[in-house]
């Protein structure tokens, strides 16, 4: 049986425009093309589309998905592999959800106590479920920076890891206090905090302006880091990105 592109779009939730794009880049050619270039899909194409959507859920880019699918021979074996990846991602997201829930509870308690101070009893808990190996995916365009950060993280012992995470948390909290005070991202105090963050990174590797901008973008575009920032203060992720953009433009150009 063959289904027209509109029906496949309806069943899968993927727009017809996206399906046409998948065809154009060779990721998902239709079973056949009818009069007027109308595309039709059969069971095998639907199975391939399912695999594409599963891999997209795992935050893989289209070129990487194409390479994975091109290397596959046994569809059943491939689906089992995707299934285990999804289970692992589910477990990690469960941990991340618990992390954010604990942070919410602590912030709510701080407000009940009548204080505007942001206090976290165990800052390292902010980063459970959000480890560098996951977040470095967002820096795939800057492999040297990503590799340096991953190598640094892997070399830390437990005490050093906790100290590193406490320092990052303290930086995020200080930035959140600037946000709460209404300071714009280009304010001198905010830029001084971003300079501290940059110098912390420079202990691992001196980043170029474009690399530092990429780190700023991960705060908003990477769902895991975005959740951590927003658990501290709504709007903090975008505030961090804007502050880094200003710093890169004015000090790293």
- Could you tell me the domains of the chain? 3-72 (1.10.1660.10), 86-251 (no CATH)
The Cα–Cα gap between 123 and 194 comes to: 19
**For residues 66 and 25, is the Cβ–Cβ distance under 8 A?**
yes
Mean pLDDT over each residue of the chain, to the nearest integer: 79
pTM more than 0.75: no
Report pLDDT for 124.
46
Q: Higher model confidence: residue 238 or residue 122?
A: 238
Query: Which of 111, 112, 109 is closest to 101 using CA atoms?
Result: 109
Report the pLDDT averaged over residues 139-144: 69
pLDDT tens readout for residues 208-229: 999 899 889 888 887 777 877 8
**Confidence band for 139, pLDDT divided at 50, 70 and 90:** low
Alpha-helical regions (H) of 113-208: 132-135, 143-155, 158-180, 188-202
Query: Which of 156, 243, 162, 248 is closest to 204 using CA atoms?
Result: 156
**For residues 19 and 5, is the Cβ–Cβ distance under 8 A?**
yes
* Residue 39, strand partner residues: 33
**Confidence band for 35, pLDDT divided at 50, 70 and 90:** confident
Report pLDDT for 68.
80
* Residue 40, strand partner residues: 4, 32
Residue 74 half-sphere exposure, CB side, CA atoms within 13 Å?
Answer: 4
């Amino acid at each position: 049986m063959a289904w027209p592109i509109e029906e496949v779009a309806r069943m899968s939730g993927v727009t017809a425009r996206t399906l046409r794009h998948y065809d154009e880049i060779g990721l998902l050619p239709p079973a056949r093309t009818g009069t007027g270039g109308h595309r039709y899909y059969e069971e095998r194409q639907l199975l391939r589309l399912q695999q594409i959507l599963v891999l997209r859920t795992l935050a893989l880019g289209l070129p990487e998905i194409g390479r994975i699918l091109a290397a596959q021979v046994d569809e059943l074996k491939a689906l089992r592999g995707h299934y285990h990846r999804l289970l692992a991602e589910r477990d990690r997201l469960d941990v991340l959800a618990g992390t954010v829930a604990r942070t919410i509870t602590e912030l709510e308690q701080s407000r009940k106590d009548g204080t505007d101070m942001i206090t976290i009893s165990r800052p390292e808990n902010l980063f459970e479920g959000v480890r560098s190996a996951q977040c470095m995916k967002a820096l795939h365009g800057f492999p040297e920076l990503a590799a340096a950060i991953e190598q640094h993280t892997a070399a830390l012992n437990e005490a050093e890891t906790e100290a590193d995470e406490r320092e990052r948390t303290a930086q995020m909290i200080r930035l959140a206090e600037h946000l709460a005070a209404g300071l714009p991202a280009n304010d001198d105090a905010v830029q001084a905090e971003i300079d501290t963050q940059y110098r912390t990174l420079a202990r691992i590797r001196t980043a170029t302006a474009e690399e530092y901008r990429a780190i700023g973008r991960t705060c908003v575009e990477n769902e895991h880091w975005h959740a951590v920032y927003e658990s501290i203060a709504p709007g903090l992720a975008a505030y961090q990105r804007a502050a880094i953009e200003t710093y890169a433009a004015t000090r790293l150009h």
